[in-house]
Amino acid sequence: MAAVEVESRERVQIRMRESGATLAAWRVSLSSPRGAIVQAEVSGKTWYRGEGALLGSSQEKLAEMWTAALSTVEPEPELPQYG
C-alpha cells in the first residue's frame, strides 16, 4: 500500500437513507491519495465510505487506509516559552 498523507481530521454530521436521525462520524481528508474516508459506527458496527479518488473502494481497503491515516504522526504544536 502506498503512503497515506493526511490533510485534516474532523468530526462531521451524516445522514443515512435507512435512518431519519443525524449521526456523528469521523472524516479524514487525504492529500495522497486525493480524497477522504468517513468512518461511522451504527449499532455497534463500523463502516467506511470513500470520497474523491476513494469512492467505491472496498470496506477492507478503506479500513486499512483508515488505520494507516491514524498512525501517521502529526508534529507537536510549537508552544511559546514564557518567562
Instruction: Give the per-residue pLDDT at 74.
Output: 61
Q: Mean pLDDT across the stretch 31-54?
A: 91
Banded pLDDT at 46 (limits 50, 70, 90): very high
Beta bridge partners of 33: none
Check whether 39 has a pLDDT greater than 90.
yes
Q: Mean pLDDT across the stretch 71-83?
A: 71
Residue ranges per structural domain of the chain: 5-16+26-71
Phi and psi based region of residue 35 (left: phi greater than 0; alpha: psi -120 to 50; beta: remaining): left
Check whether 73 has a pLDDT greater than 70.
no
Check whether 44 has a pLDDT greater than 80.
yes
- Please state, for a pLDDT cut of 70, what percent of the chain lies above it: 89
Q: Which residue, among 8, 57, 56, has the nearest Cα to 30 in the 3D structure?
A: 8
